[in-house]
Chains A and B, each alone.
Chain A
Amino acid sequence: MNQQTLHHSTPPITVTSSSDFKDVRYQDAVCLNESKLKHPIWYNLKYTLLGIVFGIVLIKSEAISWFRIQEMFYLKSFHMYGLIGSAVLTGLISLQVLKLLRAKTIYGERIKTSPKTFNKGQIIGGLLFGLGWAMTGACPGPIYAQIGTGATVSAVVLFFAIFGTWTYGRLRDKLPH
């Protein structure tokens, strides 16, 4: 399965096998850009724009507030549960609509999401991340936003989060999966 045609009606867009990047695909939540289209680097700025919108919504809804995270885990407020629930519901409906419409990207490629496979990491890693989330009040996204708002000390949290990721990569073969 080296070459795979994505969609018959679009100009023959093909993807090479993922073997080169198997590692990324096989464990990460993020999917690879399977596109073979070559774009100039500034095309990525549209993601920056989306990031700004996303971040402002996160900040204005207090979804990335240490206080709101505490309230959520103390079950004192419905805010975070409503927020996550309605976000998932919207995402779910949107994905179904995209699937029904056999939607394509703005560049004409078929939209795809890659399935995730279960491994023990989702349990062990999930629990460890949960602890860190409660301690810092931040999942990875908010750390960046916190730094932006001028909480420079969050750069320390970011540094250690990067170090944590690096340590995981280093010890990966020895960890149960």
Chain B
Amino acid sequence: MYLMDWLNGSLPWYVAGPLIGLMVPLLLLVGNKSLGISSSLRHICASTVPAKIPFFQYDWKKELWNLFFIAGILLSGVVAGLLFPPAKIEVHPDMQAVWSQYGITNYTGLIPQELFSWDNLFTLKGFMLMAVGGFLVGFGTRYAGGCTSGHAIMGLSALQVPSLIATICFMIGGFIGTWFLVPLLLA
């Protein structure tokens, strides 16, 4: 019974948070690796289209572990899709009012299907959300030297002040994006 509950339900933060945090020592113990995911985007550039850009001139094969790690994250999506029924998020009632303005009524899955779909990609708002949003994620994380895993989890765990600054800026950007940019785009 417990297993079925677990399979169908979601993990509370006080269980999932420590499990996420344990990735930091585990990666160090199995091979001296610092948790960080956005670097994989750089390794992909370096291995496919380095285009003589100095930033991509390094031995990316030494960073293969990172690509194996993200392959695991991709596979986790496949595994979760097979094992668990698609999660329907229990949302705060106030959020329903916000999302109904965006035309979102289906809370199943990781992303709202009303916004993120192939059909929507060729509309202005869909293109802005997916393409421009994706571009900002790739450009911003590399400019900042890390993302939520590298800076917020790994960097803060290692008491790095630059990571604290980066994390604060991630949050400020996120608040501006959520409160102003997304409503503007979806108006």
Contacts and interface: CB of A to CB of B under 8 A. Distances in A.
A119 to B, nearest CB: 8
Interface residues of A, number: 130
A16 to B, nearest CB: 12
From DSSP, what is the main secondary structure of chain A's interface residues? helix
A105 to B, nearest CB: 5
Contact of B30 (A55, A106, A140, A164): A106
B169 A130 contact: yes
Residue among B77, B148, B178 with max Cβ neighbours from chain A (10 Å): B77
Nearest to B159: A92
Nearest to B175: A73
Nearest to A131: B177
Given A105-B29, A122-B169, 19 more contacts: A23-B58, A27-B145, A59-B87, A74-B95, A74-B98, A94-B22, A103-B29, A113-B154, A121-B143, A126-B166, A132-B137, A134-B176, A139-B38, A140-B149, A146-B77, A151-B109, A164-B142, A168-B143, A172-B53
A157 B116 CA distance: 10
Interface string A82-109: 1111111111101101100001011101
The 8 A-B pairs at the shortest CB distance, nearest first, are namely A130-B173, A51-B72, A148-B77, A55-B76, A125-B143, A90-B21, A134-B177, A126-B169
Contacts of A1: none
Nearest to B119: A153
Contacts of B139: 125, 128-129, 132, 164-165, 167-168
Interface in B142-187: 142-163, 165-179, 181-182, 185
Interface in A129-172: 129-154, 156-170, 172
Contact of B112 (A67, A79, A86, A138): A67
